[in-house]
């Protein structure tokens, strides 16, 4: 993994993009790997890193993020207003191309299986040929709005929903969507497929295997 990280970051990103501040770039990478699936902007990243002692401008962060996306280390995902049927200009999220790189840089203490599951589902939707966005439904958020030649589907990812309050929280954004497109709640709970008012709750591993 060390060889992959070094060859991709140092040879592809640094040399191809002529980046001088390798230390600053790696700080941005670590921040992004630690915040997969979190909404963030170049300014908020720069402010956080600067407050932590690594002074960097929002412009530089934006340049690094662009380089990381161009090298397919990160994927940038925009937001879509489900009710307004329009793309939004702010609130984008980033996902990583390889969860293994995240473990390599941050260690197992940063495993966060919930975020990792969300990231894996995102990558699988891309692999299936979907155009994927983050869904905004009023003040709530749906993890993914996935569109392909068959139409639109909505996805919510959660590690477990065996707690009633957690289940209600995860279902709420999907329940608030009034169209008739398919809705899925994907978890790692080992349970038979369940329907909640038309929302299909599936085991994420079964879904990944196409069962």
- Residues 104-133 have a mean pLDDT of 88
Q: Determine how β-strand 74-81 pairs with β-strand 131-137.
A: parallel
Rounded CA separation 73/95 (Å):
9
Q: Is there a single domain that holds both residue 41 and residue 118?
A: no
Q: Is there a single domain that holds both residue 65 and residue 119?
A: no
Look up the CATH number of the domain holding residue 207.
3.40.1350.70
For residues 88 and 46, which has the higher predicted lDDT (pLDDT)? 46
Backbone angles phi, psi at 35, to 5 degrees: -125, 30
Q: Domain span at residue 27?
A: 1-74
Using alpha carbons, list the distances in angstroms from residue 191 to 124, 195, 206.
21, 12, 11
Q: Which of 74, 102, 123 is the last residue of a domain?
A: 74
pLDDT value, residue 110: 54
pLDDT value, residue 58: 94
Residue 66 within any structural domain of the chain: yes
The overall average pLDDT reported for the chain is 89
Q: Which of 74, 104, 138 is the last residue of a domain?
A: 74
Q: Which of 58, 74, 90 is the last residue of a domain?
A: 74
pLDDT value, residue 23: 87
First to last CA, the chain: 31
189-199 per-position pLDDT tens digit: 998 999 999 99
The token pair at 117 is 């599951």
pTM summary value: 0.90
Contact 136, 81 (CB under 8 A): yes
Q: Is there a single domain that holds both residue 132 and residue 45?
A: no
Rounded CA separation 198/55 (Å):
49
Rg (CA), the chain: 18
Residue 85 within any structural domain of the chain: no
If pLDDT is split at 50, 70 and 90, which confidence band does 12 have? confident
Residue 103 within any structural domain of the chain: no
Q: Is there a single domain that holds both residue 133 and residue 66?
A: no
Q: How many domains does the chain have?
A: 2
Residue 82 within any structural domain of the chain: no
* DSSP state letter for 44: H
Q: Is there a single domain that holds both residue 11 and residue 69?
A: yes
Rounded CA separation 15/10 (Å):
7
13-30 per-position pLDDT tens digit: 887 778 877 888 989 999
If pLDDT is split at 50, 70 and 90, which confidence band does 157 have? very high
pLDDT value, residue 156: 97
Backbone angles phi, psi at 166, to 5 degrees: -65, -45
Q: Determine how β-strand 194-196 pairs with β-strand 86-96.
A: unpaired
């Amino acid at each position: 993994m060390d060889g992959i990280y070094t060859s991709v970051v140092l040879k592809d990103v640094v040399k191809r993009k002529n980046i001088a501040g390798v230390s600053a770039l790696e700080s941005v990478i670590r921040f992004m790997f630690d915040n997969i699936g979190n909404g963030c902007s170049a300014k908020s990243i720069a402010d956080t890193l600067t407050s932590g002692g690594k002074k960097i401008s929002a412009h530089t962060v934006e340049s690094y993020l662009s380089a990381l996306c161009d090298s397919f280390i990160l994927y940038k995902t925009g937001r879509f207003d489900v009710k307004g049927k329009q793309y939004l200009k702010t609130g984008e999220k980033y996902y990583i191309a390889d969860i293994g790189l995240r473990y390599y840089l941050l260690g197992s203490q940063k495993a966060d299986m919930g975020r990792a599951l969300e990231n894996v589902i995102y990558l699988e939707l891309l692999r299936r040929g979907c155009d994927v966005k983050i869904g905004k439904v009023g003040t709530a958020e749906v993890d993914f709005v996935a569109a392909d030649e068959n139409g639109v589907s909505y996805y919510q990812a959660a590690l477990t929903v065996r707690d009633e309050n957690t289940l209600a929280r995860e279902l709420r954004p999907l329940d608030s969507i009034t169209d008739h497109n398919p809705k899925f709640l994907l978890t790692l709970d080992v349970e038979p497929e369940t329907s909640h008012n038309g929302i299909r709750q599936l085991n994420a591993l079964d879904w990944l295997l196409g069962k």
